[in-house]
Amino acid sequence: MKNIFRRVLFGNTAIKEYSTITIPGEIREKVILKVGRTLIDISQNQWLLCLEPVVFGVWLTDKEPITAIDNKKACRLLFTDPAGDKGKGKNLAVATVIFFDKIEEDQGTLFLLKLEKSRLFHTGFFKILVLFYRYYKKPTFTFDKFKSFVSAYSYPRKVNIISFRQGDYYNIFPMDLTGEPRQAGRFVFGLRHSNLALARIIESKRLVKSDVSYEYKDIIYQLGKHHGTNPPPLDALPFQVIQSEQFRFYIPSWAEKYKEIEIVKTLNLGSHMLLWGKLINTKILKKPAGHLFHIHFLLYFYHLRKGLSYPLA
């Protein structure tokens, strides 16, 4: 009976928390910051940086909305599908956020906005409730937390590879809590306190971020265990590595491009530590291919119903 009920609501779609996709061309979704009556397209300048609490980083250079946020007024992030229903734009999720902190630079300001509450519109509210209580509910995972994660992943989050080295120690692991303010030469990362490399990264103030193809998805996810465990000896890795030009950090030989970054500021956000860095060196290794992104299942399900799905990776 439960399987019949699931098929009525969700068809034969496999239900899981997050879908891994690649994106040919451009990301369709938009993220709009609403501050008072001002609407700003921040799609390419917004990033998820912490999960408990949920904290977004938003890079702004416009003085008017900066003043409004500095006054600590509640504002909203509108996660939208510009095409929407019948060609009209549609809000997929609306997150109410408040000022948490900021990092000021000559080129602009990184605002850190903490999520207070969110609303979801990917599908009918009844289906969303069924989905949560049937597949996601746990003693410490509330409906509000579920909504906050769905909101955050209602925009595709790109997966990068992070490399670090200090003496004989090294680490290579994937991250999707990363950001790069456009044309600013700055980078932001949200790294869990439980990551074994975090203290070393803060001490040395260096890391390397690599762009990689989704075709290496299986290896990328194998590297995920390096967040909480020490990596194996270098010659035991299932791939070859090269060394970055200046830091001499180990980079997967299949990386498309890497950027060597100096960490200039850290900030405790909660479950994650914010690392704010500046560009030291860029190296292009090969032509770019499709990258790996994470979206929430509800966004994937919305795509399926509209016949506009990104390819699964």
Q: Are residues 121 and 163 in the same domain?
A: no
236 pLDDT higher than 60: yes
Query: In this structure, which long-range contacts are made by residues 199-205, counting pairs with CB atoms below 8 Å and at least 24 apart in sequence?
Result: 200/164, 200/166, 200/169, 201/164, 201/263, 201/275, 202/263, 202/266, 202/273, 202/275, 203/166, 204/164, 204/166, 205/262, 205/263, 205/264
Residues 6 or more apart whose CB falls under 8 angstroms from that of 259 comprise: 187, 208, 209, 210, 279, 280, 281, 282, 283
Mean pLDDT computed over 126-145: 88
pLDDT at 80: 96
With respect to residue 307, please indicate whether it lies within any of the assigned structural domains: no
Q: Are residues 35 and 146 in the same domain?
A: yes
Q: Which residue carries 């103030």 as its tokens?
A: 205
Residue range 199-222, pLDDT digits in tens: 999 999 999 999 999 999 999 999
Q: pTM value?
A: 0.93
Distance (Å, rounded) from C-alpha 300 to C-alpha 12?
13
Q: Are residues 213 and 276 in the same domain?
A: yes
With respect to residue 230, please indicate whether it lies within any of the assigned structural domains: yes
What are the CA-CA distances from residue 129 to residues 93, 146, 302 (Å)?
A: 15, 10, 15
Of 22-36, 73-87, 191-205, 244-258, where does mean pLDDT reach its minimum? 73-87
Distance (Å, rounded) from C-alpha 208 to C-alpha 248?
10
Q: Are residues 87 and 169 in the same domain?
A: no
Where does the pLDDT of residue 13 fall: very low under 50, low under 70, confident under 90, or very high at 90 and above? low
Per DSSP (E only), the strands in the chain are: 18-21, 30-35, 38-41, 46-51, 54-60, 75-85, 88-104, 109-120, 157-158, 160-166, 169-175, 178-179, 186-192, 206-211, 241-243, 250-252, 257-268, 272-284, 293-296
Q: Are residues 148 and 32 in the same domain?
A: yes
Where does the pLDDT of residue 261 fall: very low under 50, low under 70, confident under 90, or very high at 90 and above? very high
Q: Are residues 139 and 250 in the same domain?
A: no
Provide φ and ψ at 218, rounded to 5°: -60, -45
Helix (H) or strand (E) holding 220: helix 217-223
Q: Are residues 118 and 78 in the same domain?
A: yes
With respect to residue 211, please indicate whether it lies within any of the assigned structural domains: yes
Of 7-16, 277-286, 304-313, where does mean pLDDT reach its minimum? 7-16
Residue 137, domain CATH: 2.30.110.10
Q: Are residues 119 and 167 in the same domain?
A: no
Q: Are residues 99 and 122 in the same domain?
A: yes
Of 75-79, 83-87, 161-165, where does mean pLDDT reach its minimum? 83-87
Mean pLDDT computed over 91-101: 95
pLDDT at 5: 47
User: How many domains would you assign to the chain?
Assistant: 2
Q: Are residues 231 and 244 in the same domain?
A: yes
11 pLDDT higher than 70: no
Q: Are residues 56 and 126 in the same domain?
A: yes
1 pLDDT higher than 60: no
2 pLDDT higher than 60: no
In the chain, pLDDT over 70 holds for what percent of residues? 94
